[in-house]
Amino acid sequence: MCGIIGYTGSSNALPKITKGLSVLEYRGYDSVGLAATTEEGIVTVKCRGRIGALEERLTALSLEGCTSGIGHTRWATHGGPSDRNAHPHQVGRVTLVHNGIIENYKEIKAEMSANGVEFLSETDTEAAAALIDACYAASGDPVAAILQATARMKGSYAFGVLFEDRPGEVFAIRQGSPLLLARGADGFYLASDLTALLPFTTEYRCLEEGELAHLSPDGAVLLRAGGEKIIPAWIRSTMTPESAQKGGFAHFMCKEMHEEPEAVRKSVSSRIREGLPDFSADGITVDFWRQITGVQIVACGSAMHAGLVGIDLLERVAGIPATCHIASEYRYHPPLAAEGTLVLVISQSGETADTLAALRYAKSVGLPTLAIVNAVETTIAREADRCVYTYAGPEIAVATTKGYCTQLSVLYMLAAAIGHGCGRLSDTDARALVRAVSEDAPAAMAEILSRREELCELARVLAPHDHVFYIGRGVDFAMSEEGALKLKEISYIHAEAYAAGELKHGTISLVEEGTPVIAIATERALYDKTESNVREVQSRGAHVILLCPADMARGEVSATDVVPLPHGSEAATLFAALATVQLLAYETAALRGCDIDRPRNLAKSVTVE
């Protein structure tokens, strides 16, 4: 959603803050700014646009002697992208940056206006700054001021705060939005996520809900939500600064696609024991699986699309009823949950507000919860009763690729573990499925990734169009949803997924000469049916690109173009289809000159509801 960075110590703060902002840009990039403490007081520099625009303004100012400060990259919620809506916001002696939404900001703003505050922006954040400043004027104590003001706020926030008369000190507090602290050789940091800290240190600690941090060059003190003061215990990350770099690829998305085979292997290997699925390393025993009578999957975006595949796996492989729900809808229309229902939340970032809210709702009504998360130590990972990590490593591109495919791989393993643990999947079948996911699927993805030229040619078919359809049946319909989202979000082509058998009930009227239709047919039992649907759209002029197992692609095939997929197992073929739609979207967006890693209007982690 937005990115926060802060520093105080013995070094120049500006290069650290701008470096952190350049790493955090993927979290939001419509405007950017920083505030630094100088001998003359706090200087704030901010503007619409990207980090480069801010650096130009900083160069013109040639600020000296700044050893503490805060920075922010913005994904606009209240007030469009502009210089005045950019963070930091300063009111009185308070300057702050914010990630989240203050839902009662209008009430606060009206009260502060009545007290004489003149607001310059349309943001909720400026109202928060005014309230903290008013509390500071009354108490003279920065900690008390932050606690009193945030006690009145409704919604979510991660704040980095400077006080004019407290040079060198940086304050932070979080509720509902992520914030980490870190200790470096030359001072102390705060940031929205670990990747922004890696250039400086690997010693970090996540702020818990309600915790307030007071950083100074001499140390860091934490005030727990209950009032207890502690010195933070630091965790050492195993990630390296290179984890958050492109490694020679043109885009993070390309790098992360090429990391998929290894990411899948890493995500499943610790869950295999003697060839069988085993989640004991995650603290989950067979007895736990045996208590489960059904699963409600809850997620957003691509993670929800992984959940659509998860329904098929849990019902077909594990033999238990499963449903999949859009997280932002879940708690407003909660589905009935029979005794033994498990709520399974899926999130790459572990900070998606809609998914976190759904998780908290499930826990509030006493349902057992399990999370599949990629980013370690994040809020969803920590709050779920149990968490199974995908080991994809940091994912920087806004469009998820390795995050999604490792979610799929873990879902396959979960389905196999539940089915086998409950005696509904034989040893032989469980071993076969484990092999398909741990060996065939990575190999199949690697093969597709090596066929980039072939897919680039097909991207030339899509690039000139404004509308593209994806069709499939069963899990191929779920994969069509993911393919359509990938194309939409990075190439800005309108793409729609349709159950292949459903298109003829109305929407086929949109198909005209040359309309591209991507048909996904990895499920052999449904191939003939899907091929009939291919004929239906082709007879109306569609340019059909058929993705199907290579051995099904021989002989007379109806499609205009065919992408023969590795056909070792249906699981492997589905992963190959995934790599295909990801690469198609990537090459199409490249042909259209889009900003692939930073698509317009988007952010990597949507930490507001």
User: Among all residues, which ones are annotated catalytic?
Assistant: 2, 604
Binding mask 86-125 for ligand AGP (x = CB under 6 A): ----------------------------------------
CB 156 within 8 A of CB 178: no
Residue 489 engages ligand AGP in binding (rule: CB under 6 A): yes
Q: Where are the beta strands (DSSP E) in 441-557?
A: 467-472, 494-499, 516-520, 543-549
Select the span of 257-265, 299-307, 329-337, 501-509 touching ligand AGP (CB under 6 A).
Answer: 299-307
**Total chain residues near ligand AGP (CB under 6 A):** 15
Residue 399 engages ligand AGP in binding (rule: CB under 6 A): yes
Structure tokens at 20: 């952190």
**Residue in 349, 369, 522, 533 binding ligand AGP, rule: CB under 6 A:** 349
Backbone angles phi, psi at 591, to 5 degrees: -65, -30
Nearer to ligand AGP, 130 or 327 (CB): 327
Nearer to ligand AGP, 105 or 389 (CB): 389
CB of 194 vs ligand AGP, minimal distance in Å: 14
CB of 486 vs ligand AGP, minimal distance in Å: 7
Residue 303 engages ligand AGP in binding (rule: CB under 6 A): yes
CB 551 within 8 A of CB 568: no
Measure the CA–CA gap between 337 and 26, rounded to whole angstroms: 37
Nearer to ligand AGP, 355 or 530 (CB): 355
Nearer to ligand AGP, 94 or 398 (CB): 398
CB of 324 vs ligand AGP, minimal distance in Å: 13
CB of 103 vs ligand AGP, minimal distance in Å: 20
CB of 51 vs ligand AGP, minimal distance in Å: 21
Nearer to ligand AGP, 522 or 605 (CB): 605
Select the span of 133-141, 156-164, 212-220, 344-352 touching ligand AGP (CB under 6 A).
Answer: 344-352
Cβ atoms < 10 Å from Cβ of 513: 8
CB of 482 vs ligand AGP, minimal distance in Å: 8
Backbone angles phi, psi at 348, to 5 degrees: -65, -50
CB 531 within 8 A of CB 473: no
Nearer to ligand AGP, 195 or 347 (CB): 347
Nearer to ligand AGP, 352 or 530 (CB): 352
Residue 348 engages ligand AGP in binding (rule: CB under 6 A): yes
Q: At 510, which amino acid appears?
A: L
**Residue in 352, 480, 533, 580 binding ligand AGP, rule: CB under 6 A:** 352
294 forms beta bridges with: 341
Nearer to ligand AGP, 480 or 569 (CB): 480
**Residue in 347, 379, 538, 607 binding ligand AGP, rule: CB under 6 A:** 347
CB of 355 vs ligand AGP, minimal distance in Å: 5
**Residue in 95, 201, 400, 515 binding ligand AGP, rule: CB under 6 A:** 400
Structure tokens at 480: 């069509």
CB 161 within 8 A of CB 88: no
Nearer to ligand AGP, 136 or 470 (CB): 470
Q: Please provide the DSSP assignment of 118-146 as one string.
A: ---SS-HHHHHHHHHHHHHHHH--HHHHH
Q: Please provide the DSSP assignment of 75-86 as one string.
A: --SSS-S-TTTS
Select the span of 82-90, 202-210, 341-349, 358-366 touching ligand AGP (CB under 6 A).
Answer: 341-349
CB of 302 vs ligand AGP, minimal distance in Å: 3
Select the span of 111-119, 298-306, 362-370, 518-526 touching ligand AGP (CB under 6 A).
Answer: 298-306
Measure the CA–CA gap between 173 and 211, rounded to whole angstroms: 6
Binding mask 247-286 for ligand AGP (x = CB under 6 A): ----------------------------------------
User: Which secondary structure element, helix H or strand E, spans residue 480, and what is its range?
Assistant: helix 475-491
Measure the CA–CA gap between 45 and 68, rounded to whole angstroms: 14
CA atoms lying within 13 Å on the CB side of residue 155: 21
Residue 580 engages ligand AGP in binding (rule: CB under 6 A): no
**Residue in 150, 177, 237, 302 binding ligand AGP, rule: CB under 6 A:** 302
CB 527 within 8 A of CB 472: no
Q: Name the residue whose CB lies closest to ligand AGP.
A: 301
Residue 3 engages ligand AGP in binding (rule: CB under 6 A): no
Instruction: Report CA dihedral (141, 146, 152, 156) to the nearest 10 degrees.
Output: 180
Measure the CA–CA gap between 375 and 391, rounded to whole angstroms: 9
Nearer to ligand AGP, 300 or 448 (CB): 300
Nearer to ligand AGP, 288 or 586 (CB): 586
Cβ atoms < 10 Å from Cβ of 384: 25
Residue 379 engages ligand AGP in binding (rule: CB under 6 A): no
Count helices and strands (H / E) in the chain: 19, 27
Select the span of 157-165, 256-264, 282-290, 301-309 touching ligand AGP (CB under 6 A).
Answer: 301-309
Measure the CA–CA gap between 433 and 569, rounded to whole angstroms: 9
Whole-angstrom CA distances from 127 to 88, 101, 123 are 12, 11, 7
CB of 380 vs ligand AGP, minimal distance in Å: 8
For 536-569, letters b (16+ CB in 10 Å) and e give: bbbeeebbbbbbbbeebbeeebbbbbbbbbbbbb
Instruction: Report CA dihedral (362, 367, 373, 375) to the nearest 10 degrees.
Output: 60
Backbone angles phi, psi at 112, to 5 degrees: -70, -35
Which residues are at the interface with ligand AGP (CB under 6 A)? 300-303, 347-349, 352, 355, 398-400, 489, 605-606
